[in-house]
Structures are given as structure tokens and as C-alpha cells.
Amino acid sequence: MKLLRKLPPEARLLLPAFVVILVVVAVPLLFSLYTSFTSYRLVRPETIWNVVWFKNYIKLFGSSDFWWAFGRTVLFLTVVLNLEMLFGLALALLVNQVTRGQRMLRTIMMFPMMFSPVLVGFQFKFMFNDNIGIVNHILQNWFGVTQAIPWLVESHLAFFSLACAEIWNSTAVFAILLLAGLMAMPQDPLEAARVDGCTPWQAFRHVTLPFLMPFVYIAMTIRSLDVGRAFDIVKIMTNGGPAGRTELIWTLSARAGYEDARMGYANAMSYVAVLLSIAFTVHFFRKLNASRQFLNEVDA
Amino acid sequence: MKNQPFVASLTLLSTLAATLVMPAAWAGPYDGYTLRVKLIGGEQYEPLYSVIPEWEKKTGAKVQIVSSKSHFELDRELKQDIASGKIDYCLFSNHTNFAAQYVTITRDLKPLVPADFVSKFSPRVIQQSTIKGKLLEIPRHSDISELYYNKKAYDDPANKAAYKAKFGKDLAPPQTWDEVAQQAKFFAKPPNFYGTQFAGKDEAITGRFYEMLVANGGQLFDKNFKPTFNSPAGVKSLNWFVDLYKSGAVPKGAPNYVWDDLGNGFASGTVALDLDWGGWASFFNDPKSSKIAGNVGIVRAPKGSSGKRTGWSGSHSFSITQSCDNPKAAADFLMFITGFDAQMLEARRGLMPTRLDAQQAALAEFKAKNETYLTEVFNTFAAGMREDSFTPPLIPEWVEVSNSIWPELQKAIVGDKTSKQALDDAAKKVEALMDDAGYYK
């Protein structure tokens, strides 16, 4: 109590929040970090005390399966984020042009977000089924395709199919945030650009887009965390296969942790995935600050 | 009519006495006890649970279902329960393939379940439920796969004539895996019709490969648990899948297929032959779910080059936990839901009972009702269970072993590696994990 009294009042007020964060966030994080240095197996609880130091990490870094999954996760993040940004921007610009029924369009636009990723995974899995799926059915019956296209098997097509499901599910996040940016945008600079004789493309490129960039980077940050832990859709549609062609870090980690019960090894893998997400977040925050600084300089 | 007041008084008195005295006499042996259970859920399995109120009425106990999930989800949950040491339930749904993982939390049922009850079950299934001399589970129903075929394809005169002209033999359901491959290629007209199909991922493809390996005279491990599946028999077995995939006799999506995809694919009428579980039999013959209802044939699983038939098998079952506070009540419940009446309830829905008396009674019922399809299905599956069934090694590492094998099998099937390379790589992974688990000390 004496120690508490010595603390400044603002620290005393913040203390409960620090305690809650410590219990809810820090303890589980530290616990999982500790287990990543053990040979912990779920079905043999006593192994939690068997410290193996960096053995799990050494094994992980020596595994080609892990590095393939790591590279694929980075590629998946890059492709999905950029495409979602482009589609979201296009949607936001189109909806922003609409003067009547915009509210209804905004609601419809958000429908995919309301579906659980598990359900989206099942929907796309059945749509892309090579034998009884609707995509091949349409291609074969309406467009004269004579082959069954292996959407979930051939490596590029499987990557494309997973990206489609992920993009369909979450493009609305970009669209809504960018639409909010467009609606908040002052009209004076645009009108000044028109008076100066700018083409619509030039006005978009040099006025609208710089103003939207902070919104783009906020959306990128949020979605990079989501896509970085992409699991449900991939688990349902391909479970990382076939032959590891769609394996991402989290499908590999979940299999090691919950099916093989090798929780120590899985936690080591998870920490690498978390570091990857942090790297993306730091990158986007830097971009966000740079774009805000640019806007401030323009205003000044 | 003079006696009317007397009769009325007597009735009133008897009712009062019954109200006051009878509850004590009616109270069941486990009155007031709550039995907590974790059960497998799903449309196929839940009708059995409709008998639970009968047991509650008989014993005075209550059954509280604390979890109802698919087997794979339940497996993950049980592992987490073991890790956290929180086993606050008495009975759980188990499976032959998973049981060895739960040895530390499972009770030996021999002291709890009378031997004459156990003797009603198929001896082979009881043997498969016993690990290191301990009876860890009482089987509820068994699964083994047999070969379903599309009679439309086999009865088509054009197909018959073409097959005879090409191979000099009459077209008939295949008896060997070589014949399956030959006929599958003969029937295949992708993308509209396929000769056969296989489950291509997860434990499903490991199991399919494993049973093919055994049929071809191979084994997964030697007696010291060193992997031996990368043998010539292993390569021959894997080549069977590779060859059919490359030739287009199976759907291109097969490496991503599991049981639902196979069931729906065969029911869609676009596949000639389908090695599949007994639980699908009614689905395939139901016009509401199948385009080939009325045209489904069934034969024993084919033989491999060693003359053995394919027979990877397992049983859905129930186990009692070590921490159970009332093992007698749990055993009573277990015997109730694996008893004759309960098994008949499932048998009438097409699931293969594990009790021999239920198998015979179900068959007699089907014959009496002239249900020739279900009679054929039950005869075929009963023969398979009796003569061909075998389980994966009953070791706690089985799931992990399987997870090391199937991605490599896929690599061979989709052409990323040769069969020998893929099996050698899988064998290295399996050997490393068995070494880690302490098998070679």
C-alpha cells in the first residue's frame, strides 16, 4: 500500500488497466513463449517441464515445409491485400457517385463481411469442386470448356481460388473505410483542380488518392493482421494441400499443435507468424505516417 | 351403488399411499446423479441419443451432454482436456483410431462390464478395442469400406459389348484392384463420367494407401516400429493412385476430396465405382439424395496382389474416464446405449452394429420386409468386418504418423515426386517422429 501511495495519481488510476492487460494478454503470451522452448505435447502434460531451449526453432528453420509455408503466407498477404485494396477502392468510388439508394448499396456491399469465414470456405469449396461444382458446370455448359478444371488442385489455380474466397469475404472492409474517406474529403481542392484544367484522372491521381492514402494504410494494417492469420477458409477449402501447395503458416501450425499435439513446436511456429504480422504492421504504420505527413505538408 | 363412498375412499387412500410411498420404491439406482458425457454429434449419430430419456427414467439419473461435436473436433477437445487436466465428465465417444492417445484418461472396462455382455460383440472388434490387455472402449458400430458400383453403367449393353470386345471378358464388378483400375479407365469419360474416385487428403488417403499396402502384402512398420511402407509393395500401392489420377479415370479434384465429396460424387451418378463406408448405403439408395437410387450394387472390397482384401476399419465406441466419480452408473449407461435395442435402432438406419445378435436380427428384419438392397449391404459389410478388418497401429502417435504420410502421398499423386521419392521422404519423417517418441531406445 505504501508503494501505491508513492505512485503519482495518474499511475494509480492506470494501474487496474495495466493489471488486466498483464493477466489477459501478457501472461498467455509469456506462457506460449515459454512452451515454444519445451517439448510440450498436449497428450503428455508432464512434457511442459521438459525444456529443450532452441531445439524447436532450429528444427523449424531447418524445415523446407516451414519455409515454403512462410513464403506462401507472405505472397498470399501481398496479393490479397493489394487486390482487396484495388477492388475496395473501385467499389468505394462507384458507390460514392451514386446519389440515390446509397445507404442500401452500402448495406449490400457489407453482406460478405457478415458471413463466417468457415461458411465462405464451404461455399467456395463446393463452387470450385471440379466434378459437381457450379464454376466448372457453367464453364462446361455455357462456354464449351471440355475439361474439368482442377481449381483446388493445380497450384496456381488453388492459390487463385483461396484468394477469391478471401477477397470476396473481406473487400468490403476496404470499401467501407475508403468510402468514409471519400465522404470526409473536402471538395475545394477537387474544384480547384477542375478550374486549373485537370482531367478526371489527374484529379484522382494528385488530389483524391493522396487524401485517401491514410485510409488505405489503416485498412491495410487491419487486414494484414487478418490475412496474416488466415486459417478458416484455407482449412476448409484445401487444408493446406494438395501436396502442401496451399500450406500457410497457420494451417501448418494448427496441424502440429492440435492434430499432432506438438504444442511446443506449434508455438515456435506461431511466434514466427506473429513476428511476420508485426513486420507488416510496422511497414504499414510507417507508410501511414508518411502519407499523413505528406498531407500536412500539402496543407501547409 | 351403496359401496360408492367406500370405493371412492379406497381409491383416494391408494392414490395418497402411492404418492407418499411409491417414489422411494420407484427410485432408480442412481437417483439424483448427473452423468456428464461428451458425445460425437452429427445427423448420422444423434438418433441413438433419443433413447437416453429411457435410461434416465429407469435409473433416476440425468445425462448431461457437455459436448457434441464431430470426431475430429472432439479429438482436439479431448487432447486439450488432457493437457489442462480437466476431465470432469464420465463417458466420452471414442474411436479405434484415436483410443491409444487417450490411454492415460481411460478406464479399463473389464471390471465394470460383465464378460457375458462383452461376449455378445464381434470378437475381432473387441480385440481392436483392447490395448495392452485393457478393454478401453465398447464399440457402438463399425465401419469398413466395400465397393459400391453404379448398376446403370454395368447393365448398359453398349458397355458390356465394348468391354467384352476390348478385354475378352464379361463386364462384372471387379474382384481385384488391378481389375478396378482396368474398369475405371474403361468407364472414364471426363469431365462427365469417371471410373472411380478416392479420398485424397488427411487421414483418408493415408488409410486408403494403408489398406492397399496390406492387400499388396506390405506393412506400415516392422516389429520394432521402423517404417517399412516404402517397400516395393508400397510403391506398387501408391502407383495405383498415381496411375488412375494421371489417366483421368478419377476426378481432378480427388487430392482434395474427403468423405462428403466422395459420397455426393457417387450419388450424383457420375462415377462407376466407389470404395466407401457402410454409413452411405442408405444415402446412395434414397431418391431424395441420390440420382442412382435403385441402381446401387455392392461387392466385397477387392483383393490386392497378395490375395488379401482391403479392410482398413474402425469402430465408433464409448469409453469411461479414470476420473469418473460414479463408474458404475457410467458403465450402466454405456451398456444401455450399446445394448441390443440401441444397436437395432442404428442398424435400421443402415449403420453396421457391433453386436452379433443385432447383426443377425437386423438381417432377419430386412429379409422379412423383402429389403434386398439392405440385406445385400449388411451381408457384404458383415463379411468384411468378420474376415478382412484391420486397424491402423494402436499407438498414440498414429495421427502424427498419418499427418507425416499423407502430404507425401499427395506429392506423388499430383506429380511433384515419384512414388519411391515420396515414400522414402515420408518414411524419414515417420522414423524421426518415432525416434522422438522413444520407440528406438
Distance CA A41, CA B83 (A): 8
Q: Is residue A118 within 8 Å of residue A239, measured between CB atoms? A: no
Position B2 confidence tier, pLDDT thresholds 50, 70, 90: very low
**3-state SS, residue B309:** strand
Å between A87 CA and nearest CA of chain B: 29
Nearest by CB to residue A239, choosing from B79, B202, B268, is B202
- H or E segment to which residue B305 belongs: none
The pLDDT of residue B13 is: 54
Mean pLDDT, residues B388-405: 93
Tens digit of each residue's pLDDT (9 = 90 or more) over A110-160: 899 889 999 999 999 999 988 888 999 999 999 988 888 999 999 899 999
| B399 close to A (CB below 8 A) | yes
Chain B residues whose CB is inside 8 A of the A246 CB are none
Chain B residues whose CB is inside 8 A of the A146 CB are 191
Q: How many CB pairs under 8 A join A and B?
A: 102
Mean pLDDT, residues A21-50: 90
Cell of A164: 477469391
Å between A227 CA and nearest CA of chain B: 22
The CA-based dihedral angle spanning residues A65, A69, A71, A77, taken in that order and rounded to the nearest 10 degrees: 180
Q: Is residue B298 within 8 Å of residue B292, measured between CB atoms? A: no
DSSP chain A: -HHHHHS-HHHHHHHHHHHHHIIIIIHHHHHHHHHTTB--BTTBGGGGG-B-TTHHHHHHHT-HHHHHHHHHHHHHHHHHHHHHHHHHHHHHHHHHH--SSHHHHHHHHHHHHHS-HHHHHHHHHHHT-TTT-HHHHHHHHHS---S---TTTSHHHHHHHHHHHHHHHHHHHHHHHHHHHHHHS-SHHHHHHHHTT--HHHHIIIIIHHHHHHHHHHHHHHHHHHHHT--HHHHHHTTT-STTTT--HHHHHHIIIIIS-BHHHHHHHHHHHHHHHHHHHHHHHHHHHHHHHHHHHHH-
The pLDDT of residue B21 is: 47
Closest CA to B98 of B69, B136, B65: B136
Tens digit of each residue's pLDDT (9 = 90 or more) over B314-373: 999 999 999 999 999 999 999 999 999 999 999 988 888 999 999 999 999 999 999 999
Residue B4 reports pLDDT greater than 60: no
| Whole-Å CA distances, B383 to B88, B92, B129, B300 | 40, 29, 19, 8
Mean pLDDT, residues A273-279: 89
3-state helix, strand, coil in chain B (%, to 5): 50, 15, 35
Task: Give me the percent of chain A exceeding a pLDDT of 90.
Answer: 52
Contact A148 B101 (CB under 8 A): no
Cell of A189: 481542392
Distance CA A177, CA A109 (A): 12
Chain A residues whose CB is inside 8 A of the B85 CB are 45
Tens digit of each residue's pLDDT (9 = 90 or more) over B76-105: 899 999 988 889 999 999 999 899 999 999
Q: Is residue B156 within 8 Å of residue B232, measured between CB atoms? A: no
Mean pLDDT, residues A46-54: 92
Å between B104 CA and nearest CA of chain A: 8
| A242 close to B (CB below 8 A) | yes
Å between B118 CA and nearest CA of chain A: 29
The pLDDT of residue B125 is: 94
Distance CA A272, CA B306 (A): 48
Tens digit of each residue's pLDDT (9 = 90 or more) over B24-56: 445 689 999 999 999 999 878 889 999 999 999
| B241 close to A (CB below 8 A) | no
The pLDDT of residue B360 is: 94
Distance CA A23, CA B168 (A): 76
Distance CA B362, CA B141 (A): 13
Distance CA B263, CA B266 (A): 5
Å between A241 CA and nearest CA of chain B: 7
- Taking the alpha carbons at both ends of chain A, their separation in whole angstroms is 51
Chain B residues whose CB is inside 8 A of the A243 CB are 255, 407, 410-411, 413-414, 416
Q: Is residue A255 within 8 Å of residue A77, measured between CB atoms? A: no
Contact B403 A238 (CB under 8 A): no
Mean pLDDT, residues B11-16: 54
Cell of B144: 469398413
Nearest by CB to residue A243, choosing from B75, B265, B410, is B410
Q: Is residue B403 within 8 Å of residue A260, measured between CB atoms? A: yes
Tens digit of each residue's pLDDT (9 = 90 or more) over B409-421: 999 999 999 999 9
Output the average pLDDT for chain A.
Answer: 90
Residue B8 reports pLDDT greater than 90: no
**3-state SS, residue B303:** strand
Tens digit of each residue's pLDDT (9 = 90 or more) over B293-307: 999 999 999 999 999
Q: Which of B71, B79, B271 to mutate to test the interface with A (most CBs of A within 10 A)?
A: B79
Question: Cβ contacts of residue B246 below 8 Å, gap of 6+?
Answer: B415
Give residue B7's identity as a one-letter amino acid code: V
Distance CA A248, CA A234 (A): 8
Nearest by CB to residue B251, choosing from A146, A148, A240, is A148
Q: Is residue B40 within 8 Å of residue B69, measured between CB atoms? A: yes
Place of cell 504499414: A284
Distance CA A282, CA B51 (A): 58
| Whole-Å CA distances, B411 to A242, B221, B416 | 7, 21, 5
Tens digit of each residue's pLDDT (9 = 90 or more) over B167-213: 999 999 999 999 999 999 999 999 889 999 999 988 999 999 999 99
Output the average pLDDT for chain B.
Answer: 92
The pLDDT of residue B1 is: 44
Mean pLDDT, residues A235-251: 89
- H or E segment to which residue B350 belongs: none
Chain A residues whose CB is inside 8 A of the B200 CB are 242
Cell of A179: 468510402
DSSP B392: S
**Chain B CA closest to residue A151:** B253
Q: Is residue B129 within 8 Å of residue B137, measured between CB atoms? A: yes
Distance CA B374, CA B372 (A): 6
Closest CA to A80 of A200, A192, A142, A167: A167
Chain A residues whose CB is inside 8 A of the B399 CB are 259-261
Distance CA B88, CA B79 (A): 14
Q: Is residue B228 within 8 Å of residue B281, measured between CB atoms? A: no
| B60 close to A (CB below 8 A) | no
The pLDDT of residue B299 is: 97
Mean pLDDT, residues B65-81: 91
Tens digit of each residue's pLDDT (9 = 90 or more) over B229-259: 999 999 999 999 999 999 999 999 899 888 8
Nearest by CB to residue A152, choosing from B104, B256, B264, is B256
Task: Give me the percent of chain B exceeding a pLDDT of 90.
Answer: 82
Distance CA B196, CA B178 (A): 13
DSSP B120: T
Residue A226 reports pLDDT greater than 90: no
Distance CA B342, CA B139 (A): 12
Contact B410 A150 (CB under 8 A): no
Chain A residues whose CB is inside 8 A of the B102 CB are 43
DSSP B228-297: -TTSHHHHHHHHHHHHHHHHTSS-TTGGG--HHHHHHHHHTT-BSEEEEEGGGHHHHT-TTT-TTTT-EE
Closest CA to A69 of A223, A228, A192, A183: A228
Å between B80 CA and nearest CA of chain A: 6
| Whole-Å CA distances, B244 to A149, B250, B251, B252, B413 | 17, 6, 10, 10, 9
> Within its chain, how far is the Cα of A97 from the centroid?
28
Chain B residues whose CB is inside 8 A of the A149 CB are 252
Position B123 confidence tier, pLDDT thresholds 50, 70, 90: very high
